[in-house]
Amino acid sequence: MLSPTKSSSFIELDKFLQKLVDDDKAPGLIFLLYKRGKIEFLQKYGWQDVENKTPIEFDTIFRIYSMTKPIITIGLMMLFEEGKFKLDDPIDKFLPEFKEMRVFVREEGKKIITEELEREITVLDLFTHTSGIGYGSFEDDPIDKIYSERISYDNKKSLSLEEVIKIIADIPLRFQPGKYFRYSYSTDVLGRLIEVLSGQSLDVYLKEKIFQPLDMNNTSFYVPENKLNKFAKVYLYNEANPLQLVDTPNVVESFSKNYKYFSGGGGLVSTLHEYFNFTLLFSNKGKFKDKQFLHPETMDLITTNYLKDNKTITEYALTKDLAESLGLNAYGQGLGIRVLVKENITPSASGEHGWGGAAMTYYWVDPLNDVIGLYMSQVFASALNVPVAEKLMKLAYEGFE
């Protein structure tokens, strides 16, 4: 079990974290800072349930949303080491529903005009969100409208991963594979690829290959009834109405045992301690304690920028303003993670990498400085995610000086 620790070097960091709770910008949060084999800072603040004044604890269970994606990367790259696929393999080699995809050209009235693929979608395209697959994130985008209609929560709740992926394969690509970066359901497709290559359901595969060996016993696609008392409530923040409880089915029922869809892009829950164990794989070149999960060379593949001409995500993005708003101006795209490619923009060193989740969860690994930063909260606060991450990183490195 983790124990709280802090030193006088991190007074400003401590104040900043407490102020987020005091100002009702976060219901509660935990932050861990690790350097060279030692946890330098670990503190918890506020509540996992504001209404009932239940304090946040080190074993509180959080929805990690898109921080599921790096876990899919590790799981799939285990199969890569077994020779089950190559990064440049076309995805339709394993998922035939992706054969003969069509690509969006323009919208004429209510009709979508498409063209043929210039080349097939590869596994690498899926890892780097350059596949042309959408996410339903843009209301005014004609392809995203189709995603919103066909893969809504109400639709997904009764569908399996296999069934959802077949719907995705039936929707035209937004652009030709490899042409742009756009955040997408690509990682969900990779989750389905794990199922096909391993012959196991995604939940069972991850449990056997990653969660049990990493002592991640609370990390899962659902929270069992006997642990619901540890499951944090989730809130919505905006300046007009700070901290509104969100208890809609998509944030409650989608993490119950009855939910069939195992989302590789955002379906997991975890605790701070357990996710820290996972990040140690990146810090230790694929090793945790005495077990080598992946070879160091494979970890290097994961943390390489694959965008053409070493471009940043913002430079390669179809929607550049969105990438900028997500704080990705200095980062390229590795296999399911961002990778720092521009220096002197962040306090971390070139090669720093990580990812974040929609409800204000975030981590980074800085290999050159041997630093890991990890925090977890449960608040949808899109306007705060990037400023909070940047401020935390700044105060953390100032404390090391």
Domains and CATH numbers, the chain: 8-69+201-283+344-400 (3.40.710.10)
Q: At what angle do helices 11-22 and 382-400 cross, to 10 degrees?
A: 160
Q: What letter represents residue 186's amino acid?
A: S
pLDDT at 398: 97
pLDDT at 51: 96
Which is it for strands 234-236 and 379-380: parallel, antiparallel or unpaired? parallel
Separation of alpha carbons 359 and 97, rounded Å: 32
Give SS3 for 292: strand
Residues 6+ apart with CB under 8 A from 178: 119, 122, 125, 130, 308
CB distance 28 to 54 below 8 Å: no
Separation of alpha carbons 18 and 43, rounded Å: 10
Task: Give, in order, the Cα–Cα distances in Å from 260 to each of 84, 105, 199, 268, 388.
Answer: 26, 34, 17, 13, 34
Per-residue pLDDT of the chain (401 residues; tens, 9 = 90+): 788 999 899 999 999 999 999 999 999 999 999 999 999 999 999 999 999 999 999 999 999 999 999 999 999 999 999 999 999 999 999 999 999 999 999 999 889 999 999 999 999 999 999 999 999 988 889 999 999 999 988 888 889 999 999 999 999 999 999 999 999 999 999 999 999 999 999 999 999 999 999 999 999 999 999 999 999 999 999 888 889 999 998 898 899 888 889 999 999 999 999 999 999 999 999 999 999 999 999 999 999 999 999 999 999 999 888 788 888 999 999 999 999 999 889 999 999 999 999 999 999 999 999 999 999 999 998 889 999 999 999 999 999 98
pLDDT at 262: 96
pTM of the model: 0.97
Separation of alpha carbons 86 and 69, rounded Å: 19
pLDDT at 55: 98
